[in-house]
Amino acid sequence: MEDFILQMSHITKLFPGVRALDNVTLNLRRGEIHALVGENGAGKSTLMKVLSGEYTDYSGELILNGEAARFKGVKESEAAGVAIIHQELGLIQTLNVCENIFLGDEVCQNGVINWDIEFKRAKELLDELNLKVNPKTRVGNLGIGQQQLVEIAKALNKRCNILILDEPTASLPEDDSENLLALVRGLRDKGMSIIFISHKLGEVLSVADTVTILRDGETVDSRPVKEFTQDTLINGMVGREIKTLFDQRDCPVGDVELKVSGWSVFDGINDKWIVQDINIEVRKGEVVGLAGMIGAGRTELGMSIFGSFEGAITGKLEYMGKERPPFKNSNEAINAGVFYSSEDRKRFGLILNSDIAYNASLSSLDKFIAGRLFVNKNKEYGKVKEMVEKLRIKTPSILQRAGNLSGGNQQKICLAKALMTEPRVLILDEATRGIDVGAKTEIYRLINQMAGQGIAVIMISSELPEILGMSDRIYVMREGRISAEFDNKARNVTQEDVALAATGGATV
């Protein structure tokens, strides 16, 4: 019999209306690196939250070291030797390295923290990880790669024997990633069992011993890494064919509406370039897809063009054929005719407690002001009703609370809000995230209509089928840069092409 340190079988986890995990199986051998791959939303993070005890209401079996276990919180799973390093760093930026490593596990004598022991142990851990920083350094002053190592030190300090890394290299530059992978291999050789979640398939193939592929909450494949290639991995992850969702669009593509060149964005808080040296353009009536993995800098690029990203921006912006300074804020961008619709509609797209009319007209209120002071509700409601009909938003009334609508209809309100500003350039960030297929086709139809009206659309999306089915041209971003550009007029670019460019497999 094989030596499994962890066996998760028949795990099912329901969210309201969604089967996030459906009968999932994951078997982790002692001392192996087990990669867990899948598209965004395939259920990888949910499965890990089941393991770490953050979700308790699941069905299925979890056997750790031969004994059935069911954790009721992070504390319990940690005590059993499971440590998880989340995708978004769980470090406190304002505390120093040593304090972060020992957060929750302070070494105390008579209630007073023993700094001597903590510093000594912190130094040992940092030496082990080959990280040359003073434990007294504030974490906020470290680079993202160093912070990642501090996270690992924190996990090691808990004396775990199962380490879960959720996209540890997503935001790391190439050489930092290499260091990290070498380190992960080193930990395995010392006997640690590691679950490694990553979108970077090249990395998965080089570091993992076993790969499990999740798709739509189900395990589709689990085999030794030797039996996979980049292509079979991508096939397993993507699986389905959906070409019929997308209608033909034959509107003419006009002049360049918006163009950025040498566009770079620096985040001074985290001390790093998020977007570097981008040259892209979008034409009237054109839909341009912006593909790439989470953390590649697509959202930041969109927001920086829209003037709503806090950071230093360099580069040239050409709009409507003329060069102009970058938009200082969203207001300036909207007035000029550029609109960005956020990827997180519940936090940044809508005010859920307010009604549809309020949300739809929020960005274009200037158009409904009577006598320079009051909102002319007749005019406002008239326009909103028109939009609700045009976008086929299913609601009994435009005074319905936005939060009561389904995800698809909420997304349509976001589009209505965008369209009511009468934009010339529309940046849609993950416009179909978390909505069902029927609603998706409607959104695609609307995007086609917009392009037909001559709006230049930049569509940011992590879903390859819609990028391929909708875009006239495709830009792929990786680690803050454009890694590839494809002409997709004939809809002949393949998922593999884009996935390779996004994960770093291809050379451009």
Partner 1 sequence: MTNKKVDLFGLFYQNSLAVEAIVIFLIFQVLTGGMFMTFRNLSNLIMQGATCSIIAITMCLVIITCNADLSAGRFLGMLGMIAAIMQVNYSRIPSGLVVLMVFAIAVSVGLWHGFWVGYMKLPAFIITLATQLVFLGVNQYISNGRIIGPVTGIIAEMGNGYMPSISGKRNDTTLIVGAIIIIAYIWFEIAKERKSIKQGFGATSLGKIVPKIVLVTALAAAVTIILYNHKGFAYAMLILFALTLIISYVSKNTKFGRYIYAIGGNAEAAALSGINVSKELLKLYVLHAFVVATAALVFLGRLNSATTAGGNGYEFTAITGCVVGGTAITGGRGGVVGAVIGTMIMAALDNGMSLLNLNPALQYIVRGAVLLFAIALDAYANKRKAKMVHAV
Give the binding site for partner 1 (CB under 8 A): 74-75, 78, 86, 89-95, 99, 103-106, 108, 111-113, 115-116, 119-120, 123, 134, 136, 266-269, 271-273, 310-312, 314
Smallest distance, partner 1 to C-beta of residue 311, A: 6
Smallest distance, partner 1 to C-beta of residue 176, A: 12
Token pair of 318, please? Answer: 């050409």
Residue 234 has a CB neighbour count (10 Å cut-off) of: 24
Q: How far is CA 148 from the centre of its chain?
A: 18
Smallest distance, partner 1 to C-beta of residue 16, A: 22
Considering beta carbons, is residue 5 or 84 the nearer one to partner 1? 84
Q: Which of 398, 400, 402 is nearest to 353 (CA)?
A: 402
Q: Are strands 374-375 and 369-370 parallel, antiparallel or unpaired?
A: antiparallel
Determine the Cα–Cα distance for residues 153 and 96; give it in Å rounded to an integer: 13
Smallest distance, partner 1 to C-beta of residue 111, A: 6
Determine the Cα–Cα distance for residues 22 and 463; give it in Å rounded to an integer: 21
Smallest distance, partner 1 to C-beta of residue 151, A: 10
Considering beta carbons, is residue 121 or 284 the nearer one to partner 1? 121
Considering beta carbons, is residue 148 or 361 the nearer one to partner 1? 148
Smallest distance, partner 1 to C-beta of residue 427, A: 22
Determine the Cα–Cα distance for residues 383 and 361; give it in Å rounded to an integer: 9
Considering beta carbons, is residue 157 or 342 the nearer one to partner 1? 157
Burial (0-12, 13-18, 19+ Cβ within 10 Å), 441: middle
For 1-39, the DSSP string reads ---EEEEEEEEEEEETTEEEEEEEEEEEETT-EEEEE--
Considering beta carbons, is residue 116 or 436 the nearer one to partner 1? 116
Considering beta carbons, is residue 19 or 123 the nearer one to partner 1? 123
Determine the Cα–Cα distance for residues 48 and 53; give it in Å rounded to an integer: 9
Considering beta carbons, is residue 101 or 290 the nearer one to partner 1? 101
Element (H, E) at 465: helix 464-470
| Bridge partner residues of 112 (DSSP) | 109
| Bridge partner residues of 428 (DSSP) | 341, 459
Smallest distance, partner 1 to C-beta of residue 74, A: 6
Report which residue type is found at 134.
Answer: N
Smallest distance, partner 1 to C-beta of residue 442, A: 35
Smallest distance, partner 1 to C-beta of residue 164, A: 13
Considering beta carbons, is residue 134 or 229 the nearer one to partner 1? 134
Smallest distance, partner 1 to C-beta of residue 104, A: 4
Considering beta carbons, is residue 100 or 410 the nearer one to partner 1? 100
Smallest distance, partner 1 to C-beta of residue 382, A: 38
Determine the Cα–Cα distance for residues 197 and 51; give it in Å rounded to an integer: 14
Q: Hey, is 427 helix, strand or coil?
A: strand
User: Distance of CA 161 to CAs 42, 185, 208, 309, Å?
Assistant: 26, 14, 17, 40
Residue located via tokens 């001074």: 268
Considering beta carbons, is residue 177 or 341 the nearer one to partner 1? 177
Q: Hey, is 387 helix, strand or coil?
A: helix
Considering beta carbons, is residue 141 or 206 the nearer one to partner 1? 141
Considering beta carbons, is residue 75 or 377 the nearer one to partner 1? 75
Cβ 305 vs Cβ 330: under 8 Å: no
Cβ 302 vs Cβ 504: under 8 Å: no
H helical segments located in 109-200:
115-128, 144-157, 174-189
Considering beta carbons, is residue 108 or 375 the nearer one to partner 1? 108
φ, ψ (nearest 5 deg) of residue 317: -120, 125
Smallest distance, partner 1 to C-beta of residue 162, A: 17
Smallest distance, partner 1 to C-beta of residue 332, A: 17
Q: Which of 500, 424, 442 is nearest to 257 (CA)?
A: 424
Determine the Cα–Cα distance for residues 32 and 206; give it in Å rounded to an integer: 13
Cβ 291 vs Cβ 498: under 8 Å: yes
Residue 132 has a CB neighbour count (10 Å cut-off) of: 8
